[in-house]
Chain A
Amino acid sequence: MSLAGHLPILQVVVPLLIAPLVVFLRPRGLAWAAAATASLLAFLIAVTLTGQILRSGPVTYMLGSWPVPYGIELHVSPFSALILLIVTGASTVALFAGRRSINMEVNNDRQPLFYSAWLLALSGMAGITVAGDAFNIFVFMEIASLSGYMLIAAGPDRRALPAVFKYLLMGTIGATFYLIGVGLIYMMTGTLNLADMEARIHGVGELKPILVAAGFITVGLALKAAVFPLHVWLPNSYTYAPHMVTVFLAACSTKVSIFVLLRFDFLVFQQNLVAHDIQFATVFIPLAILAILIPSVSAMFESNLKRLLAYSSVAQIGYIMLGAALVSVTGLTAGIVTMFNHALAKGALFLAVACLGTHFLQLRIENIRGAARHMPWTMAAFVLAGLSLIGVPGTAGFISKWYLILAALQEGSLGIVLVAVVLISSLMAVVYIWRVVEAAYFGIEKEGLQPAGEAPLALLAVTWITVLANLYFGFFPSLPLTLSTEAATALLEHLR
């Protein structure tokens, strides 16, 4: 088999093997360079894999050539490809942009460990995405989470510590719930392979344990994905993490959990439990509506920039779950494409905030008054990315809102309510983005808080690349849309 045939496993192994090496690279420039190279390699692998999948369909890889279901299977579907692009892309962007920012926030002697944890988080998330085995997903999920906790705890503010402790407790409870669910399914079917599981549940007579398993797995993963009201760990973790960690994690960590959640609920349970699609919708449509509205209100009254954006992330997770809970091809497409577009928009916004962070120690709205006069490029990037978050035509965010509204309108009278919810929350997004823009462009500067000039060039350049990607995918959305549509069709394929 040529090298190209081994790409699914290389996706995980490349960052995993470089991670321990990075620890020994003492001059910190080297550690950064190694981490950035590994991340770039992972991104290139993801791009190549996506190309393969677009040409010839899903890729299956058998570890050690052991036949499925005895061996461990890796499975890269269009859905995985989209998530892989988000994960590796976010990591690469943050690493290339963030050298100066990380130097400012993380102690020199801790940096090799920091970059090592970063690569572990990357390989964990890539592993979740390619794994075709329920227990492998658990192990990769814990690799990603544990290293994620380390990254967040590296934040310079001491409040990062209680925040990360809370995240650790809730994340572990979520993962353990998932483990209970997988155990119950294993008890009834004797298999851990997702595809095999789906087939074998057909033959199970007593479905009650499977139903309980579905409950445990859905709640556990919803906790990890910060689905409202299980999101309480998220705002403070994102706020006090180092800026670049926020860029990385905000773009992908919750999406990876949603990816697993959708795979379980649609591929494993949907066909096998009576009326599971209706149960799924009745649980998640109300939660999604609350998730869209309540955190948006919190964001409107929040004065810490990073926490404001973190609340907005919780609202965006609401959009994703709303799309999925409609259980239709358009709805799922909307949800999945939102994952991609939100990663772009929120990544760009957090990058712009990181630019501000190179000059402002306290990222509060009242401190950044008048910042646009000194940092025009940063603030222009913030405005454009903000427009994408709101969903203005011509930006990536518009595509997701458009599909979401299309999907909602297929639902009759309930759809009208949903459209109203989406529009109201978009208006609320206008409000909270505007508050930042107003302060930065029209506010009167505070004495002694004027920044010396623009952010470091590398950071600014990468921020603008991400912003331009927002515009590009607003005008030419075919790549994420093709992948999302294929993913949605595959998820609904077996639904009776």
Chain B
Amino acid sequence: MELFGLYHYWTFAVLLMIGFYAVIAKSNLVKKLIGLYIFQSAVFLLYITMDKVDGGTAPIIQDGVTGQVFSNPIPQVLILTAIVVGISTTALGLAIVIRIKEAYGTIEEHEVREMDHRVA
């Protein structure tokens, strides 16, 4: 029971490893980047799940209402920033992939490596 009560951590761990596997195992550079983004998104989920407080509501202070339980807003704020970082990273990565395609004519990692070996 305890095992599945923590299902959000399992989601985090499984997603993290799916992303990591793609980064390592895929040869296509775009697939690597997709893996990288899944990897980062898993961490976003870790942060988002930790701000949940049982019975908590949106953290807005209202006149005349007391004794409310609030969810923690800080992890959401943090992860908003981290999402921006993730998008920038992916965008820059894709830009580099476009330039690799222009320079080498391929986006397969092993073909790029072979072409470099032939030159060197």
Contact = CB atoms under 8 A, between A and B. Distances in A.
B39 A176 contact: yes
B43 A180 contact: yes
A33 interface: no
In order of increasing CB-CB distance, the 5 nearest A-B pairs are: A158-B103, A142-B85, A161-B100, A187-B50, A165-B96
27 contacts: A135-B78, A138-B85, A142-B88, A146-B89, A153-B96, A153-B99, A158-B104, A161-B96, A161-B99, A162-B100, A165-B29, A165-B97, A168-B89, A168-B92, A168-B93, A169-B32, A169-B93, A172-B36, A172-B39, A172-B40, A172-B89, A179-B43, A179-B82, A180-B43, A180-B46, A183-B50, A186-B75
A169 B82 CA distance: 16
Contact of B103 (A138, A161, A169, A180): A161
A172 B42 CA distance: 14
B66 interface: no
Given A162-B113, A162-B116, A165-B29, A183 B100 contact: no
B104 to A, nearest CB: 7
Contacts of A186: 50, 75
Nearest to A152: B96
B48 to A, nearest CB: 10
A428 interface: no
Interface in A223-241: none
A474 to B, nearest CB: 37
Interface string B35-59: 0100110010011001000000000
A333 to B, nearest CB: 35
B82 A159 contact: no
Nearest to B116: A159
A165 B50 contact: no
Interface in B67-120: 75, 78, 81-82, 85, 88-89, 92-93, 96-97, 99-100, 103-104, 109, 112-113, 116, 119
B30 to A, nearest CB: 11
Contact of A150 (B40, B92, B97, B112): B92
Given A179-B82, A186-B75, A146 B47 contact: no
Interface of A: 135, 138-139, 142, 146, 149-150, 153, 158-159, 161-162, 164-165, 168-169, 172-173, 175-176, 179-180, 183, 186-187, 192
A176 B40 contact: yes
Given A149-B96, A165-B96, A139 B85 contact: yes
B88 to A, nearest CB: 6
Contacts of B93: 165, 168-169
Contacts of B112: 162
A162 B113 CA distance: 8
Contacts of A179: 43, 82
Contact of A139 (B39, B81, B100): B81
A192 B23 CA distance: 29
A290 to B, nearest CB: 22
A172 B96 CA distance: 15
A121 to B, nearest CB: 13
Nearest to B16: A180
B81 to A, nearest CB: 6
Nearest to A161: B100
Contacts of A169: 23, 32, 36, 93
Contacts of A165: 29, 93, 96-97, 100
Nearest to B33: A169
Contacts of A175: 85
A169 B27 CA distance: 13
A168 B40 contact: no
Contacts of A162: 100, 109, 112-113, 116
Contacts of A159: 116, 119
Interface centre among A142, A159, A179 (most CB of B within 10 A): A179
Given A142-B89, A153-B96, 19 more contacts: A135-B78, A135-B81, A142-B88, A149-B96, A158-B104, A159-B119, A161-B96, A162-B113, A165-B97, A172-B39, A173-B23, A173-B36, A173-B39, A176-B39, A179-B82, A180-B43, A183-B43, A183-B46, A192-B78
